[in-house]
Amino acid sequence: MYLLRLALASLGNRRFTALLTVFAIALSVCLLLAVERVRTEARASFANTISGTDLIVGARSGSVNLLLYSVFRIGNATNNIRWDSFERFAEHRQVKWAIPISLGDSHRGYRVMGTSPSYFEHYRYARSQQLQLREGRAFSDDPFEVVLGAEVAQALGYALGEKIVLAHGVARISLLKHDDKPFTVVGILARTGTPVDRTLHISLAGMEALHIDWQNGMPARGAAQVSADQARAMDLQPRQITAFLLGLNSKIATFSLQREINEFRGEPLLAILPGVALQELWSLMGTAEKALFVVSLFVVLTGLIGMLTAILTSLNERRREMAILRSVGARPWHIASLLIVEAFTLALAGVLLGLLLLYLGIAGAQGYVQANYGLYLPLSTPSRYEWTLLGAILSAALLMGCVPAWRAYRQSLADGLSIRL
């Protein structure tokens, strides 16, 4: 115990270097834990995005691509699929429910998704949670009604009854606006922590009405224009959609139906299992994730080497201290222990300060990260894995402390009681 007192007093005497060392370790620990936490939460939030859907069906492309545009609203579909293909599989005897998805428009950077009321009924996220309306209602028969995701409403400050104009295409700045056919906000969904929060939901009829007078990807001019009221009276049965989600009566049928869809002769379709595609997506991201982790590990190592350097540099100027301690009876192993205690104390202080920085950082950035990246970072106590990491850092510090300890041991044996300057 007295050694601890001596080590702390000696460190206190060199508090400027000691504080710098602690700060370097703290920053590296904070970085490592932050990377780890973002990684874990990103993985969890990815896995939580879709639940209870047995098959996702779209035009034939890659499974990751289909997953990305249908669920994560990232990227675009290569092709649309015909409405009758959807109808055919929606009425399949194995299918319990089907949700059509039609994409391609946006509103101030947020994607617009055309769908049917079955979306609000059957779509599940996280652990089988249903979408909840925080305000208002789902869209009904009027085609020009929109239900906002929580983040869209919050970020753009929209309330119920607001009239908004959708834009053609998904670019943040779109030159082609559907300003002849404004939509009324009728509902706002509760927050889910998934891409649903960043989506505007309209009916398939609404999607159809937006484009009813478009030809060759351009809006009609003059007399060919169809007004909103005229559109309401027209037949708004969609002819094409982008993808659809299927829930089956029995999980056992998943593979046979998947094969049936993939071999469908009407048009080239692709059916994927969300879990499998998520896994595939994650293995793609895994490399970047590992690289980030390795980089932060090296940062921690750099922090510890900084500590080692600081202690080693101090050894020479502390020969007097060692000789005095030897003269009052400290044995060489006491001197060695002092240095190990010192290394451990620095690392421990670094780890604690790092944790503090992490929590301050999370508390400060939580809202921003949630709003901009849809990632919820909880202020939770460190996980077992994180404790393991911290333990490993402390062990590494102990191990590194052995280097100056050994040198001081040798030095104090050689110097003995003679005080060298």
Closest to another protein by CB, 37 vs 326, is 326
Of 165, 285, 324, 356, the residue at the interface with another protein (CB under 8 A) is 324
Whose tokens are 């779109």? That residue is: 174
Closest to another protein by CB, 1 vs 175, is 1
Which residue, 152, 128, 148, is CA-closest to 48? 128
Residue 331 binds another protein (CB under 8 A) = yes
Minimum distance from CB of 24 to another protein (Å)?
A: 23
Minimum distance from CB of 329 to another protein (Å)?
A: 3
Residue 9 binds another protein (CB under 8 A) = yes
Residue 416 binds another protein (CB under 8 A) = yes
Of 33, 325, 358, 397, the residue at the interface with another protein (CB under 8 A) is 325
67, 101, 114, 334, 378 from 240: Cα distances, Å:
19, 10, 11, 81, 41
Minimum distance from CB of 314 to another protein (Å)?
A: 13
Q: 274 and 194 in contact (C-beta within 8 Å)?
A: no
Among residue numbers 264 through 323, which ones bind another protein (CB under 8 A)? Answer: 320-321
DSSP state of 15: H
Minimum distance from CB of 333 to another protein (Å)?
A: 8
- 41-49, 87-95, 197-205, 324-332 -> range binding another protein (CB under 8 A): 324-332
Which residues on adjacent β-strands are paired with residue 99? 245
Q: What is the largest CA-CA distance in the chain?
A: 105
Of 173, 328, 379, 384, the residue at the interface with another protein (CB under 8 A) is 328
Whose tokens are 């119920």? That residue is: 160
Which residues on adjacent β-strands are paired with residue 111? 106, 199
Closest to another protein by CB, 59 vs 325, is 325
Minimum distance from CB of 341 to another protein (Å)?
A: 15
Minimum distance from CB of 349 to another protein (Å)?
A: 17
Q: How far apart are CA 364 and CA 121, in angstroms?
A: 36
Q: 209 and 231 in contact (C-beta within 8 Å)?
A: yes
Which residue, 4, 94, 1, is CA-closest to 54? 94
Closest to another protein by CB, 286 vs 416, is 416
Q: 89 and 243 in contact (C-beta within 8 Å)?
A: no
110-115 and 199-203 beta bridge pairing: parallel
Q: Which two tokens stand for residue 330?
A: 């400290």
Closest to another protein by CB, 5 vs 163, is 5
Closest to another protein by CB, 96 vs 420, is 420
Note the residues at the interface with another protein (CB under 8 A): 2, 6, 9-10, 12-13, 320-321, 324-332, 334, 416-419
